[in-house]
Amino acid sequence: MGKNRKIQTLLIIGAQWGDEGKGKIVDYLSKYFDYSVRFQGGPNAGHTVVVGEKKIVLHTIPSGILRENCCAIISNGVIIDPDILEKEIQELRKNNVEFEKRLFISNLCHLILPFHKKIDELSDRERKIGTTKMGVGPAVEFKVARRGIRIKDIFSQNLKSLIKDAVDYSLKIICLYEKDFVNSHNEKIPSAEEIYDKLMRFGEKIQNFVTDTQKLLRNEIDRGKKVILEGAQGIMLDIEFGTYPFVTSTNSSPGGAISGTGLSPKDIDAILGVVKSYSTRVGMGPFPSEIKDEEKSELIRKVGGEYGSTTGRPRRIGWLDLPLLRYSKKIGCFDFIALTKSDILKTIKESFYVKKYITADGEIDEVDSSLNLEDIKEVVLEKVEPDKIKNLLENELNIKVVINSRGPERNQIDISEELLEKIS
């Protein structure tokens, strides 16, 4: 982007396998923006934002809701679990966050219903991806199969028949896994009638927030309002460009921000890639930089609080991985980088980064889609002082690190004059 160009719309994307600390960056930056938007993923994501003494965990609602100046939009690409969204709303009320006029939910969001969670559990038992079991993948499958139920359907005359169709379809799938399930399903997943009653109650609770968020965003951008778009997960979990099949079901790369909001690519002024100073991943799948020394990885896990905010699972720990970041820089088309958790590595004696990979065909210093990460035999590590990671990224990736987050608190963030100038 041009040196002096102002940023009206900023897109935040995770550069690794999620959990880079995007929530904190968005929470910090949203004081400069009018709208903060979640556009993909669902309750599989989660971030904890520390505000003073309080720790607030959000799964679906963008963290911008914690800033009074900022409105929060859950746009059409987000998959909503009614129970979880209700809990988040309660959590905001409990913490005296005023949001009644600042929360907007797209009428086009698809819903996670109890049978989606059941299918997720059965499917992952057989084909181990290590999903969060939150039902996001099956809800996306139903969406693509044109059998999904959207927020707007709750308010339509058709709701009963849509639920019946979805329940019947889900039973066909569930019976592929558990032959006798149809005989006992009443005990295991709620009936179509129960789901209907529940959605009616849910509809009443959220109706004041439901709107056409594409139209809202279009109008607001056209009249000069500033928007921050908050990606969930990270490039390596993207359904197209990630480590397929060990990925999530939505687009966590920049394309997701377009289909997931209805904005145009022309609306995005800049993309900020968020890089954690080491790598983590939850669930199965290749992880070339994974630290084999369990004592060391346990220490980083403990100090860095590397446990899933949705499932509580311990995250796998690895070093910063340059061949992989060169790839995500290209997929993410990053203009800038935000570096997070740069304080954590200071607590261990020596830290490293992955300089290159060794495969049967030779050395590789940049991943591309023809490479199977499973085929990497070895990685070449180099020592790095935690304070030098910022320089390393700038030199090796040729992108400016404009944010450095040094701890969990709001005031433990350094932001460059250049970025401040562009967003103020």
Residues forming the site for ligand IMP (CB under 6 A) = 17-19, 44-45, 129-132, 134, 136-137, 232-233, 237, 246, 248-249, 282-283
Task: Classify each residue of 180-206 as buried b or exposed e, where b means 16 or more C-beta atoms within 10 Å of its C-beta.
Answer: ebeeebeeebbebeebbebbeebbeeb
Q: C-beta of 125: minimal distance to ligand IMP in Å?
A: 14
Which is the catalytic residue, given 27, 47, 185, 238? 47
Q: C-beta of 112: minimal distance to ligand IMP in Å?
A: 11
Q: C-beta of 23: minimal distance to ligand IMP in Å?
A: 10
19 catalytic? Reply is: yes
Closer residue to ligand IMP (CB): 8 or 40: 40
Closer residue to ligand IMP (CB): 8 or 63: 63
Q: In the bound complex, which residue of the shown chain has the CB atom lying closest to ligand IMP?
A: 283
Q: C-beta of 247: minimal distance to ligand IMP in Å?
A: 6
Q: C-beta of 133: minimal distance to ligand IMP in Å?
A: 7
Q: C-beta of 349: minimal distance to ligand IMP in Å?
A: 28
110 catalytic? Reply is: no
Closer residue to ligand IMP (CB): 23 or 64: 23
- Enumerate the β-bridge partners of residue 271: 11
Closer residue to ligand IMP (CB): 122 or 154: 122
Closer residue to ligand IMP (CB): 9 or 248: 248
Rounded Cα distance, 124 and 284, in Å:
11
Closer residue to ligand IMP (CB): 8 or 297: 297
Q: C-beta of 37: minimal distance to ligand IMP in Å?
A: 17
Closer residue to ligand IMP (CB): 38 or 390: 38
Q: Is 290 exposed, middle or buried (0-12, 13-18, 19+ CB in 10 A)?
A: middle
Here the tokens at position 74 are 């859950």
Active site residues: 19, 47
